Structure 1
Amino acid sequence: MIFGSLFGGNSREDTPAVAVVRDITIGRQVRLDALAWRRLSGAAFTLDRDTLEITAQGLIRLDDGSHVHRFYTDDELMLQAVSQSADGSDADDFTLFRPWSSTYPVDRSDTAAFRDRLSRPTWDEAGLARFDRFWYPGDDRTQPPVELWESVYEERTGRPVRHIKQACMLYAREVPPEGQELLLALAMQPEGGDLTHEIMVGLPLLPAEFSA
């Protein structure tokens, strides 16, 4: 730190707090190949543009040591990458999601009912086809939702602006021709904030289908 100060090196405060994954981070644009969703017949996922302006970034550290990097736009589109390393250099699992619905639970019974739905092997949502659980493949028993905390940043070198507790489950369905659509169901609550029930629809992305 002393030599860094003497010779003009970056201070600890200037060190990025979030990773740059395939050149994607806060303040950059992501260009998408629109064929990723336009080629799917009957999918609920649609998007009216092929460029994302990244204005926030989330980080989740999973119990198995892997890292989930989430990149957000102002209208809450979410590009997600999963990696084993903290810097995201080995990210090999990419998905793109957009919000479908967001509701506040009416009471405790509504909260309990949503959590019960998160444990089931299928998901039925108004206006959508049925989705099968993607996690726990081949297991049609009830399973607990995945619990995690996400730290969200709005500046690369800043501190998290919020921490969000989440219980979630991922679902998928096959869409012709030879495609897949995803549904992410979440019960999420920021520290000091209200609980909401979120539904997002999305699709897997190949590395060749986006760039920054």
Structure 2
Amino acid sequence: MFAKLIDKLKGTQAPAVKTPEIMGLRLGASFELDPLAIRLILDELTIDSCSPTQIIKAAGVVELDGTWVYRFYTDDDAWLQVVAEGGRGDEHVVDVKLFHFYDTLDVANQQAWDSLLKQEIGAESYQLQERSYNRVWTSAGDYHNPVHMSEKTYDVGGDYSVTDQFTMLFERELSDQRTESLFLSAEEKEEHAGYLSRSLVISTGITLTSSQLTIHG
């Protein structure tokens, strides 16, 4: 106890870790979804269910030349993504989407990894459960190289990991003129044991408006 007090007085105590936060969303916080907004389209979505109340268990952030992508991972096997452009304040938020993890596929070798990045992930369309999603990000050619993101993700204990992601966004129209998004992320991560793990993470989601989301700090 006294050693900690002396360290504090000397200014040697480690500063608190600043974890990602925006719109009141942060580690340990929770949010509620308008259940009616989900119920009206649930039969059309890839997911089978969606919890109306979700607790944030991890938080990540990606910085992309004046754009910040915040991701808040929940206890519903989901993640809320908030995109801010031109600044990190609430007033800079331009998009909010709720994604649920669909599947994570191991990438076994270099050949499979190269094929994923150069031939598959950036195609004009992607099929999932006999549903066709069209690529959102445009390209001069038929194929769009995946967009690289480096995400720093924190857990509730303050520990963090860094993951390189090669990503692509797709969407398909729903009956009420909304869309269901499909997010593909080919991910590389150096594990503690020293080896490089690779996987394809598939998630589907919907865009939320401010009236469909209530945040509890």
TM class, shorter-chain normalised? 0.7 to 0.9
Q: Verify: 1:197 aligned to 2:197, yes or no.
A: no
What do residues 123-173 of structure 1 show as CA deviations (whole Å, max 9, x unaligned)? 113x14000001118x662111000100001248x4x51000000100000
| Aligned partner letter, 1:154 | D
In 2, the alpha carbon distance for the partners of 1:129 and 1:60 equals: 29
Say if 1:70 and 1:164 are closer, same or farther in 2 by CA, change over 3 A: same
In 1, the alpha carbon distance for the partners of 2:172 and 2:78 equals: 20
Q: Secondary structure at the match of 1:112?
A: helix
Instruction: Note if contact 2:38-2:50 (Cα within 8 Å) is conserved in structure 1.
Output: no
Compute the RMSD of aligned alpha carbons. Answer: 2.2
Structure 2 gaps of 5+ residues are 1-7
Alignment of 1:1-212 (within 5 A): 13-14=15-16, 17-40=18-41, 41-62=43-64, 64-74=65-75, 76-84=77-85, 85-115=87-117, 116-125=119-128, 127-136=129-138, 141-155=142-156, 158=158, 160-192=159-191, 193-212=196-215
Which position in structure 1 is the counterpart of 2:5? none
Say if 1:208 and 1:128 are closer, same or farther in 2 by CA, change over 3 A: farther
Instruction: Note if contact 2:54-2:75 (Cα within 8 Å) is conserved in structure 1.
Output: no
- Cα offset for 1:38? 2.0
In 1, the alpha carbon distance for the partners of 2:101 and 2:200 equals: 11
In 2, the alpha carbon distance for the partners of 1:38 and 1:75 equals: 16
In 1, the alpha carbon distance for the partners of 2:182 and 2:130 equals: 10
TM-score by structure 2 length?
0.82
Q: Secondary structure at the match of 2:37?
A: helix
Q: Secondary structure at the match of 1:92?
A: strand
Fraction of identical pairs, as percent: 23
- Cα offset for 1:77? 0.8
Q: Secondary structure at the match of 2:131?
A: coil
| Aligned partner letter, 2:88 | A
| Aligned partner letter, 1:47 | S
Query: Which protein has the bigger strand share?
Result: 2
